[in-house]
Amino acid sequence: MHTSKNRIFKTLVILFLLAILIINAKAIVSPLRARLTDLSAPLLKSVRSSILAFKRIIPFAFLREENRVLRQKVDLLARKLEETKAVYDENNRLKGLLDFRQTLSYTTIPAQVIGRDPTNWSNSIIIDKGLTSGVRQNKAAISMKGLVGRVLEAGRKSSKILLITDPNSKVGVLIQRNRQGGILIGRPDGRCKMIYIALDSDLVPGDKVITAGFGSIFPKDILVGEVVKVDKEPGRLYKYAIVKTQEDLSKIEEVLCIR
């Protein structure tokens, strides 16, 4: 009997304690939950920031790839435009050259410049026409603007043109205004020098220089260039003139070879 009473008493005590715990559960859990929230807040904030940043990066990654593709397309179109412009300019030059041929009193062979002699880079050019096209050695080469040079070597399919700016080039010339004669020789600086001009000759900068037509190489009255300087040769009894060629021979792309 005594034992049963003790067991009942213990059970009642346990039930009482459980009731107290249940009643105060909210009071115990709430501070603990708040503490856990405080501890986890920085981590949650960092994760959220990373997620937002990732969401921002993804669209920009797609935009960067799209921009890269668009830039490639723009570069391609720009290159095609430049290629088209080059072809257009070349066609215009060739058309002008062919029209110019029809105004000449002698027969010519149109040719394109395909290179320059590596041993004489600035003063000779290689063209794409030779003996099979009618090009002959020691015949003049001209452009729409003026005299270019003469055929130094003629191969079957190509030829070398010695430019009038070469120091080995010699051309009989006249001052167009007064028919004063002289010899035109090339200079290393890309210009020409007219020598053996009489001291009493009337010669001034701006005068046009033309071929004299002596011999069988250069026809008469082909424009050569313009006088830019006149001076007296030291210790000599004649003047000289520096002549700027009518055609920029460093950039020439097409010529006409005279038969």
Q: Are 148 and 163 in contact (CB under 8 A)?
A: yes
Given a cut of 60, whether residue 36 has pLDDT beyond it is: no
Residue 71's pLDDT is 80
Which stretch of 29-38, 147-156, 212-221 has the lowest confidence by average pLDDT?
29-38
Which stretch of 44-53, 62-71, 150-159, 207-216 has the lowest confidence by average pLDDT?
44-53
Given a cut of 70, whether residue 13 has pLDDT beyond it is: no
Given a cut of 80, whether residue 220 has pLDDT beyond it is: yes
Please tell me the pTM assigned to this model.
Answer: 0.64
Between residues 7 and 70, the one the model is more confident about: 70
Residue 34's pLDDT is 59
Between residues 112 and 106, the one the model is more confident about: 112
DSSP 13-82: HHHHHHHHHHHTHHHHHHHHHHHHHHHHHHHHHHHHHHHHHHHHHHHHHHHHHHHHHHHHHHHHHHHHHH
Q: Which residue, 247, 117, 241, 122, is CA-closest to 190?
A: 122
pLDDT in tens, 129-158: 999 999 999 999 999 899 999 999 999 999
Average pLDDT over residues 167-192: 93
Average pLDDT over residues 70-82: 74
Average pLDDT over residues 205-215: 94
Residue 83's pLDDT is 64
3 state SS of 251: coil
Confidence of residue 117 (pLDDT cuts 50, 70, 90): confident
What mean pLDDT, rounded, does the chain reach? 81
Average pLDDT over residues 163-176: 95
Query: Angle CA(61)–CA(44)–CA(60) in degrees, nearest 5?
Result: 10
